[in-house]
Structure 1
Amino acid sequence: MVIADEELALMAAQAGAAVVHTMYGASLTRFEKAAGDFATAADIEAEKAILDVIRAARPDDAVTGEESGRTGPDSAERRWLVDPLCGTLNYAARNMLVAVNVALRTGSDITGSGITAAACADPFADEVFWTDGAHAYVRRGGVDERLAPSPDSRLVDVNLDPPFPNGPAFRASRLLDDQGFIERFRPRVVSTTLAVAWVAAGRRAAYVTDGHLRDSVHFAAGIALCRAAGCVVTGLQGQPLHTGAGGLVVAADRETHTALLELIGNQLPSDR
């Protein structure tokens, strides 16, 4: 029996989430990667579990793993993007705000529109947000519910983690002190891309981050979910994703998106 790509993404994300859940709270070995950045034994073991699922079903597919790097040819028509534990610092501090992200890019297009299956698992809420590239759902207890974006919460998640390629002209942190932002929205800083999935699910009105996110293991699944759910998804200046200034603005509706672009535009030079 051939497993559909979206079901395989679900299975892989759930396998990783099970490891993350089981190892939570344990004293974990840390592996330093760069200044202020590290992986834990849970990251490593969760990625192994995810890759075991993918490779058993799709042995010829290429993979990019957050911890294990790239395998398979660079020009592969099918590449899995795997982030086994998004929110490692949260997790290491015994904060449960983390995600397990799995996405499949098919074809040579790496702008993000080539993501045809993706899943984002919350290891502690027993939820998996997933898409087949056309529609977006959340699975709880084996039951799927269609995702419905909503701006009603007015909660906007802002990513404050580096890098900041548009700095010093633009810093997401300055949105938090912008009077226009304060009057209209309420900031949140979850520090995991689970918050991107929450925009698709109607639990956040929007999400903003700087950065170059092309083929990102962190963001590919969440972006695919938001697109399939009908969110407005662009770069920082409202341009097609992964072009121009880069970054990401994903909003539940056009009105919220327009308001955020105006606030962001207050920082960015007009000639960019």
Structure 2
Amino acid sequence: MALTAAQAGAAVVHAMYGASLARFEKTAGDFATAADVEAEKAILDVIRAARPDDAITGEESGRAGPEGAERGWLVDPLCGTLNYAVRNMLVGVNVALRVGSEVTAAACADPFAGEVFWTDGARAYVRRDGADEPLEPSSDSRLVDVNLDPPFPNEPDFRAVRLLADAGFVERFRPRVVSTTLAVAWVAAGRRAAYVTDGHLRDSVHFAAGIALCQAAGCVVTGIHGQPLHTGAGGLVVAADQETHAALLELIGAQRPLGSPSVLPG
């Protein structure tokens, strides 16, 4: 159902693209558009029709449903609103189902490529023209997406923007900044070698689907210093393979001031 819900949201995003859309201010420098709101409604309609007793957390509508529900949905109806508002097609529609503490199903739809990256919790696929193809991570492109959006809870120990100026990073990788978590799904699909962001991402409507896809596809997924996800400093490093992951951790670790305690993977 995550896939069906994401497709419903993506259809709305696609249909409203290019129109003059009302904007709704959220925080300084951040806003939603009418497309965000309508896409979320379409997604929630699909979920509520099939699972009326599930809890839902939507980026635009907040949390709804019974307290303490075992099943909860995390919905980001339009990831890349700033891109979309200036008629840039780099956006994603994210839907994830959490059962207990685990995300057991997730989908990230690309409204303009007509693709949906999805997982049943065990394997990961991309659906295109009604056919499913297994996702296969690869670091061959050397493209690493770096999220530069705030907040930056780990500065001064880490700032993602400093990776872009690091000679070792430039020598080994080719940076990209697309400003949508669709790029996380691209790591699972072999279209990015890695993705790096700061932040505390537990139960994030933006990141839950992409993280689940990458885990199911066999990517290396950890916190910013290689620690278990959602622990310690937080953050996210998702890489196509161990070699790429290790190289990024070395570059990230080099930002830490002398005398700062190291954080070992565990």
TM-score (norm 2): 0.97
Secondary structure in 2 aligned to 1:43? helix
Deviation for aligned residue 1:75 = 2.0
Give, in angstroms, the shift of residue 268 of structure 1: 2.4
- 1:226 maps to 214
Alignment partner, residue 73 of structure 1: 66
Deviating runs (4+, > 6 A) in structure 1? Answer: none
Pairs within 5 Å for 1:127-142: 127-142=115-130
The one of 11, 34, 45 aligned to 1:41: 34
Q: Quick one: distance in 1 between partners of 2:67 and 2:95? A: 18
CA deviation string 1:182-227 (max 9, x = no partner): 1000000010000000000000000000000000000000000000
Partner of 1:63: 56
**Which of 14, 21, 32 matches 2:25?**
32
Equivalent residue for 1:268? 256
Q: How does 1:1-272 map to 2 (within 5 A)?
A: 8-107=1-100, 109=101, 114-269=102-257, 270-271=260-261
Q: Distance in 2 between matches of 1:168 and 1:38?
A: 27
CA distance in 2 between partners of 1:42 and 1:167 (Å): 34
Q: Give the alignment's Cα RMSD to 1 decimal.
A: 0.7
- TM-score normalised according to structure 1 size: 0.95
Give ranges in structure 1 of 5+ residues lacking alignment. Answer: 1-7
Q: How many residues of Structure 1 are paired with residues of Structure 2 in the alignment? A: 260
Separation in 2, partners of 1:140, 1:51 = 23
Query: Which residue number corresponds to residue 3 of structure 1?
Result: none
- Code of the aligned partner of 1:124: F
Residue identity in the other structure for 2:52: P
Q: Take 1:236 and 1:143, find their aligned partners in 2: how far apart are those partners?
A: 35
How many Å separate the matches in 1 of 2:127 and 2:237? 25
The equivalent residue for 1:4 is none
